[in-house]
Structure 1
Amino acid sequence: METQGLKKITVIGGGSWATALVKILSEQTHVQIRWWLRSKTDIKHIRNFHHNPSYLSDVYLSPKKIRVYEQVSEALKGSHYVILAVPAAFIQESLAGLQPRHFEGKVIVSAIKGMIPGVNSLVTDWMTEAFAVDLAHTCVIAGPCHAEEVALEKQSFLSIASTNQESAEDFARLMTCRYVQAKALGDLYGVEYAAVMKNIVAIACGITHGLGFGDNFQAVLVSNAMQEIGRFVSTIDPRERELASPAYLGDLLVTSYSQFSRNRLFGNMIGRGYAVKAAQLEMKMIAEGYYATQSIMAINENQKVFLPITQAVYDILYGQQPPAAAIEELKKHLG
């Protein structure tokens, strides 16, 4: 018999962020986690040894609360919440073969800080288009928060955004534990776009660091980036929002400066002379900002927002412009 009040939560994805979210959720008393991972080897290891061998391998994964699945459709059965935690570039492949009925009656939570390449769509919008998920039944998880610090149980903060305040507050309670505080917000699009764009900024920060720029320039770059994000988000979804709050500025800062930021690492490699493909291969992880740069520039063809930092990153990653020349041009627009 199902325990009264038991919340069934499906997590889709097997990376470091998915593993960190599983860890946070497993701190709750009345939760059953249904976890789908692509790797059958990792699934077998988790079942036998209760650790993810590929990511955050020191994190203990309670077999009492966590069930791992090889079929995503099986992992979705009976769930109240579905957390999407795969790179945006792989979400279509991960959900291939599913139908709108698989998501009926569930709240869809995007933990993906990227856009769907090719279609240039936010994950929440794509779920509405592809699976008829009502936007009011979607949430977004933003930071400032890195998976590696969750694994170490360092104090962290999450922002849960939704057009449905009740859904945001309910899920924020599930994501709150002794080392994580979660707060509900009503600005779904603002938080989601800001989470996408801060990865582009982190690449820019990494590039300048790789080129030998110091803290002074990084501070100017990040402060200008917050203005750039504000201009873009206000154009896409005009409303009152406090951009200095953790969901916007906080998430931008941690991604731009942290040693754990894969987007900053990717940019740093580019600044040091790596070709894009070489940097991607050596990292063995997805830098969401790479795809996001192209998506934001495509959207901005119609919006015409002044985005000098995004433009500079695009010119380097997609236009083969030398990083030093692109940053020299960018300097003219900062201040």
Structure 2
Amino acid sequence: MPKVAVLGGGSWGTTLANMLAGKGLTTWLWIREAELVEEIKNRGENTWYLPGIKLSPGLRVSPDMAQVVDGADYFLVVIPCQFIRQVLSTYKHLFPHNPIIICASKGVELKTLKPMSQVIEDVLEDKKPYYAILSGPSFAKEVSHKLPTAVSLGCADNNLGRKLQELLSTDYFRVYLNEDYRGVELGGAIKNIMAIAAGISDGLGFGHDARAALITRGLAEMSRLGVALGAKERTFMGLSGMGDLVLTCTGDLSRNRQVGLKLGQGQKLGQILAETRTVAEGVKTTESVYFLSRKLGVELPITEQVYEVLFKDKDPKQAVQELMSRKLKAE
């Protein structure tokens, strides 16, 4: 059986590792916190990030990266996106030549304004990695309960993509292949911004009409920026675009939507972030995508207003009012 090294023991990393171990694959999960590793070994549960889910007895966990990646055939990266460069740089010497990297983290690096494929290429360039991105409408809790889920796998190499498609699919987790990996990764990143916007709208009590407008115009922003970065517009109509956007803008399990809801209800960002252990990737992604759009000259009005609310302490009601009073235009 192939060995899969899963890097990152948050809710999504633990869920994917548990799913693969349940398939009978040799699966190792790297978790930075040694105390959490011991708890998982003793209790068979990740109470920090995935409470209530019993983990497969075949899943191996360790804080020792060398042990986790040794002899691995596949490397599933599920580290918060702003830390991927740091972690991979630290442990780069442990990776083989031509490693197969499957990234399941969603975001744009703030320091460089690069998507995850370029970050990984930067760090592992001399290792000549193969790259794929896993994204789509998927809550860790629902996948952990084996509820039907469908996602996209972005991979430019069709032969490798089909191989990874088989590796990752189960009878409840269906993987669709898409050669436009850039579109898949950008859809997964930018939709988190729109989830914050939708949460703000709902927190203000603006109703279903407003949320539907945000989802629709949010999709237009995702497509616009994606095309500017070389992605295909039709990718954003699929699972990693529209599918993930609808889920995170409407589902209360969305961490980013929850951030928006609390902002709309009057809480401040610092207070919101201090109250949760899990990472809402959309906060940092809003900042990086805002600056990326300005660099490229791409108009992203929703992203701009979410940025102002998050980082300039703008009144959410004023942000919505400015969106509604923009110059009228064709759709």
Same fold (TM over 0.5): yes
Between the aligned residues of both structures, percent identity stands at: 28
Distance 1:239 1:40 in 2: 42
SS in 1 for 2:79: coil
Gaps of 5+ in 2: none
Q: Does 1:215 align with 2:223?
A: no
Match of 2:56 among 47, 59, 62: 62
**Count, aligned residues:** 328
TM-score (normalizing by structure 2): 0.94
1:28 equivalenced with 2:28 (yes/no): no
> Which digits, 9 at most, give the CA deviation of each residue in 1:35-78, with x for residues without a partner?
11012122112222322121223323223x32211211321111
Counterpart amino acid of 2:65?
Answer: V
How far did residue 329 of structure 1 move? 0.3
Q: Which runs of 5+ in 1 are unaligned?
A: 1-5
How far residue 101 of structure 1 moved from its aligned partner, in angstroms, is 5.5
2:227 matches 1:234: yes
Give secondary structure in 2 for the equivalent of 1:33: strand
1:329 to 2:286 alignment = no
CA distance in 2, matches of 1:190, 1:242: 6
Conservation of the 8 A alpha-carbon contact between 1:28 and 1:174: no
Q: After the TM superposition, which residues 128-139 of structure 1 pair with which residues of structure 2 at under 5 Å, given as runs?
A: 128-132=121-125, 137-139=130-132
How far 1:106 moved relative to its partner?
1.8
Shift of the 8–312 alpha-carbon distance from structure 1 to 2, 3 Å rule, reads: same
1:89 and 1:116 in contact (8 A); partners too: yes
Moved over 6 A (4+): 133-136
The Cα of 1:100 is off from its aligned counterpart by: 5.1
Q: Which amino acid is 2:199 matched to?
A: G
Q: Which amino acid aligns with 2:230?
A: D
Over 3 Å counting, the alpha-carbon distance change for 1:237 and 1:135 in structure 2 is farther
Task: Between 134-143 and 226-235, report the one with greater CA deviation.
Answer: 134-143
Which of these residues, 14, 17, 30, is aligned with residue 19 of structure 1? 14
Contact 2:98–2:129, Cα closer than 8 Å, also in 1: no
Residue 52 of structure 1: SS of its match in structure 2? Answer: coil
- CA contact under 8 A between 1:266 and 1:283: conserved in structure 2? no
Root-mean-square deviation over aligned CA pairs: 1.8
Aligned to 2:160: 167
Which residue pairs with 1:281 in the alignment?
274
- Give the Cα–Cα distance (whole angstroms) in 1 for the partners of residues 262 and 159 of structure 2: 43
Q: Tell me: CA distance 1:332–1:165, structure 2 relative to 1, closer, same or farther (3 Å).
A: farther
Q: Distance in 2 between matches of 1:115 and 1:258?
A: 23
Per-residue deviation, 1:299: 1.4
Answering whether residue 295 of structure 2 is matched by residue 302 of structure 1, we say: yes
Q: For the Cα contact (< 8 Å) 1:100–1:132, is it kept in 2? A: no
